[in-house]
């Protein structure tokens, strides 16, 4: 959704966080971005209260909460970006062909594939990168990873994700992830070298 040059009144975020935030315009902008990034014009985008999901013809990003914050807006955009990037860059047949059968290995394999997909968007567009940074920091904050004090408290899957993301994108982890980065990723990095 583009506003006229010099006139940002139609851009929903510029009214933020007051009551003039235009949720309909925001949903439309996210929907257009999903269709554009995924190169899938016929995606039906509907927002729901559940976890975001996608199939061949439908995309369901999450609804914004009642009291919207800038972080909520960035995370909703990031989830839309993730859905679109997944549709554009993930091949389910190739993924299934190489996916391990052991559950822990499969979880790592799936997480690294999602990281690869998100890295493509991060490298392509700074706005996507910022949205994904916010979403990642929020995810790890909600799981209390800032409290990690020992390597055993840092799950291997997440350490691999952060390490791969940093190696591909050259973006350091969010400062809120420093304890996790120090214990989990640095230990893993030492083992890999």
Q: Per residue in 62-102, pLDDT tens?
A: 888 888 888 899 999 999 999 999 999 999 999 999 999 99
What's the pLDDT at 122?
96
DSSP state of 18: S
What's the pLDDT at 6?
38
What percentage of residues in the chain have a pLDDT greater than 70?
79
Q: 161 forms bridges with which residues in the sheet?
A: none
Backbone angles phi, psi at 45, to 5 degrees: -105, 120
What's the pLDDT at 116?
97
pTM over 0.75: yes
Say if CB 38 and CB 88 are below 8 A apart: yes
DSSP state of 155: -
Name the band, by pLDDT with cuts 50, 70 and 90, for residue 151: low
What's the pLDDT at 7?
39
Strand residue runs (E) in 32-162: 44-45, 53-54, 58-60
């Amino acid at each position: 959704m583009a506003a006229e040059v010099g006139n940002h009144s139609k851009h929903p975020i510029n009214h933020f966080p007051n009551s003039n935030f235009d949720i309909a315009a925001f949903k439309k902008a996210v929907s257009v971005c999903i269709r554009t990034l995924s190169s899938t014009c016929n995606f039906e985008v509907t927002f729901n209260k559940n976890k975001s999901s996608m199939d061949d013809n439908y995309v369901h990003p999450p609804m914004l909460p009642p009291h919207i914050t800038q972080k909520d807006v960035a995370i909703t955009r990031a989830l839309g970006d993730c859905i679109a990037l997944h549709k554009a860059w993930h091949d389910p047949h190739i993924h299934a062909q190489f996916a391990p059968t052991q559950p822990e290995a499969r979880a790592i394999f799936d997480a690294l594939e999602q990281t690869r997909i998100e890295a493509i968007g991060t490298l392509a567009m700074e706005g996507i990168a910022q949205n994904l940074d916010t979403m990642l920091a929020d995810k790890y904050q909600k799981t209390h990873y800032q409290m990690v004090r020992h390597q055993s408290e840092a799950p291997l899957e997440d350490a691999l994700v952060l390490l791969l993301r940093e190696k591909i994108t050259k973006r350091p982890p969010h400062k809120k992830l420093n304890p996790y980065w120090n214990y989990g990723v640095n230990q893993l990095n030492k083992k890999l070298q």
